[in-house]
Amino acid sequence: MEYDVIVVGAGPAGSTTARECSLRGLSVLMLDREEFPRDKPCGGGVNVRTAQLLPFELGDVAERTIRELQVSVRAGYSYVRRSDEPLTYMTQRRRLDAYLAEQAIRSGVTFRERAALREVEMDRRGVTVRAGTEGFRARVLVGADGANGKTARLAGIPVERSLGIALEGNIELPPAREARWRERFAVDVGSSPGGYGWLFPKGDHVNIGVGGNWPVGPSLRSRLARLTHYYGFSPDELWGVNGHPLPVFRQGSAVEKENAVLVGDAAGFVDPLTGEGIYSAVKSGQIAARHLAAYVSGAQSDLSGYAHEIERDLVPDLLVSIQLHQIFHLAPPIAAQMVKRSSRTWRLVCALLTGRIGYAGVKERSTVLARAIDLASAAGRVRVRLSTEG
């Protein structure tokens, strides 16, 4: 059978693209090398902005609803900020991804597990894919195979991205400590170059992690142990400790070629400031599905419209997020103080998490603010250059 679309990867980007293509009447095959439910190294935080993109409720996959943020500086001094509205839902990727894949299957997608992509042959009429021991054919190919995926390379799409890295693990949450983390998540700033540490509470355990610029990789284990200790748990009790790259988009990087597109982490769409990528995975999947449907039906002659819409609707936020990341890492303790002392700054954090404003919208608020962000981020870039050269 020849499909309209083959989607490689069944994370949030792949399941969303597959589901939305199928709902538009396309025949879709979704492949994943793993058997579901499977885990993926991730904090599993789905902020309200992301949840609002989905046309269905998260239901009990959202194990906690977060209204409080605890901020600590270099695993020392800390404070808590509370919001009246939900900010983020806490999920486990094992459950979230199985749920999203289930939604895709219900909409008519054929899902093949334990089918690792091995070869891609593109021709004018479509694409032939070898995965596992089988061959499949379709009009178009979607690379949704994450930060370590092969689709981009095999389809000849020249992706450029820089890499961060993060390590996370889980630890049981004793009932006596449950009240503290019922509605609260924590971030620790200033102790990991280019990143931060976190504690994300789930139903019966907490997820603790730390991420940063690529060179911090070898020190992440000891950083994770220190942070776990700081939050009052024993590092010896951590289970499921896993590391994974965080791919950050470079302006001008390709996201499509001929009859193939990339979505989510495969395209490098992680939010540079927070390391969150589920929002962009879902958003890029939705944009891709619209263009794939128009292409397959003959309403569009190529897939360049996907790149243009990504450039218009996603890239501006990613570029401002890069700038805010540069500013934040000039002096993380000062940023932490601003969130503590300024109600305006806290309201802005809440507005970003709930989607009332996007990063690009922060700069659009005033030309003075936009100029200040440009200047401060330039200072951040110079500082990074000096520290890497020195």
Ligand X SMILES: Cc1cc2nc3c(=O)[nH]c(=O)nc-3n(C[C@H](O)[C@H](O)[C@H](O)COP(=O)(O)OP(=O)(O)OC[C@H]3O[C@@H](n4cnc5c(N)ncnc54)[C@H](O)[C@@H]3O)c2cc1C
Among 9, 86, 126, 143, binds ligand X (CB under 6 A): 9
37 preceded by a cis bond (ω within 30 of 0): yes
Closest approach of ligand X to the CB of residue 176, in Å? 26
Stretch that binds ligand X, among 21-29, 180-188, 276-284, 330-338 (CB under 6 A): 276-284
DSSP states along 280-312? HHHHHHHHHHHHHHHHHHTSSSSSHHHHHHHHH
Sites for ligand X among residues 26-45 (CB under 6 A): 31-34, 40-45
Binds ligand X by CB under 6 A, chosen from 29, 61, 117, 216: 117
- Evaluate whether 303 touches 53 at the Cβ level (below 8 Å): no
DSSP 8-state class, residue 253 = -
Q: Which is nearer to ligand X, 29 or 296 (CB)?
A: 29
Are 261 and 288 contacting, i.e. CB atoms less than 8 angstroms apart?
A: yes
Q: How many residues bind ligand X (CB under 6 A)?
A: 39
> With binding defined as CB under 6 A, does residue 197 bind ligand X?
no
The CB-of-364 to ligand X minimum distance in angstroms stands at 24
121-140 residues in contact with ligand X (CB under 6 A) are: none
If one asks whether residue 7 binds ligand X (CB under 6 A), the answer comes out as: no
Which one, 14 or 272, has the nearer CB to ligand X? 14
CA 133 to chain centre: 30
The helix/strand/coil state of 6 is strand
Instruction: With beta carbons less than 8 A apart as the criterion, state whether 346 and 339 touch.
Output: yes
Instruction: Please select the residue that binds ligand X; options are 86, 143, 149, 195, rule is CB under 6 A.
Output: 149
- The CA distance from 151 to 177, in Å, is 44
Length of the chain: 390
Q: Is the peptide bond before 235 cis (omega within 30 degrees of 0)?
A: no
What minimum distance in Å lies between the beta carbon of 149 and ligand X? 5
Query: Nearer to ligand X by C-beta: 44 or 194?
Result: 44
Strand partners, 199: 186, 208
User: Is 62 near ligand X (CB under 6 A)?
Assistant: no
212 near ligand X (CB under 6 A): no
* Residue 150 binds ligand X (CB under 6 A): yes
Residue 276 found at the interface with ligand X (CB under 6 A): yes
Among 4, 20, 63, 168, contact with ligand X (rule: CB under 6 A): 168
Give backbone dihedrals phi and psi of 213, rounded to 5 degrees, phi first. Answer: -60, 155
Strand pairing partners for 71? 79, 187
Nearer to ligand X by Cβ, of 241 and 373: the residue is 241
> CB of 10 within 8 A of CB of 145?
no
Contacts with ligand X, residue ranges (CB under 6 A): 8-14, 31-34, 40-45, 116-117, 144-146, 149-150, 166, 168, 209, 244, 246, 264-266, 270, 275-279, 281
